[in-house]
């Protein structure tokens, strides 16, 4: 009888001794598992960058004919939802003398800005997108124009391709067209005109996402 109780006691002691160790092992295993947060989407976040390119004279699509150099900055935010990417951007650009012909006179554009929305499809590190928004431009009186300098507004649309290089850096190429309708001007001889002006631009840029 004593031997039987001794055997039961030995088994119980072994079990009681093993339980704390098992619990400790389970706890250690739970807390020692590495924490792996979900990776952030490639195209989600704020960004800022610079751009430069060419803009031909108004209504002339050939960027290699009488084109002006343009350069500026942009900043915005995009969000990736699966393969879809949506966002918004502000852009400011300086151009060295984009010229619009208005009859026998000229209007010159140097400064412009735009507020745009962007939407596209992410193919891994490559983003194909379209863009549209509202553009403003400063038009100065040129040859044979006697009216005051003015700011005008109009619609803008275009498309682009952006490539990510990792670490927040990406490069893009973008085409945009801006249309400024019903622009008033007065030419020498007090000749009043109203014109629809169109501008094309092809720009390359760098963005840093943060």
62 by DSSP, 3-state: which?
A: coil
pLDDT of residue 3: 44
- What's residue 53's pLDDT? 94
This model's pTM is above 0.75: yes
Here the tokens at position 76 are 């915005």
Runs of H (alpha helix) within 77-152: none
- Within the chain, residue ranges assigned H as helices are 2-32
Where does 45-209 sit in CATH, by number?
2.40.160.20
pLDDT digit string (tens) for 8-44? 444 444 344 444 444 444 444 444 445 443 344 789 9
Low-confidence ranges of the chain (pLDDT < 50): 1-33, 35-40
Q: How many degrees, rounded to 5, is the angle at CA 65 between CA 64 and CA 67?
A: 80
């Amino acid at each position: 009888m004593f031997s039987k109780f001794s055997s039961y006691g030995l088994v119980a002691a072994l079990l009681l001794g093993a339980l704390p160790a098992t619990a400790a092992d389970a706890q250690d295993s739970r807390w020692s598992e590495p924490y792996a947060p979900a990776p952030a989407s490639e195209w989600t976040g704020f960004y800022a960058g610079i751009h430069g390119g060419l803009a031909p004279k108004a209504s002339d699509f050939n960027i290699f004919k009488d084109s002006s150099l343009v350069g500026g900055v942009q900043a915005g935010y995009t969000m990736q939802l699966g393969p879809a990417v949506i966002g918004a951007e502000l852009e400011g650009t300086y151009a060295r003398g984009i010229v619009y012909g208005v009859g026998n006179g000229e209007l010159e554009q140097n400064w412009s800005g735009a507020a745009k929305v962007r939407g596209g499809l992410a193919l891994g590190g490559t983003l194909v997108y379209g863009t549209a928004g509202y553009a403003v431009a400063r038009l100065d009186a040129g040859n044979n124009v006697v009216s005051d300098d003015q700011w005008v507004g109009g619609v803008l649309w275009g498309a682009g391709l952006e490539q990510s290089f990792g670490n927040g850096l990406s490069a893009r190429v973008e085409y945009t067209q801006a249309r400024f309708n019903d622009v008033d001007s007065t030419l020498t001889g007090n000749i009043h005109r109203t014109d629809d002006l169109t501008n094309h631009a092809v720009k390359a840029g760098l963005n840093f996402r943060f």
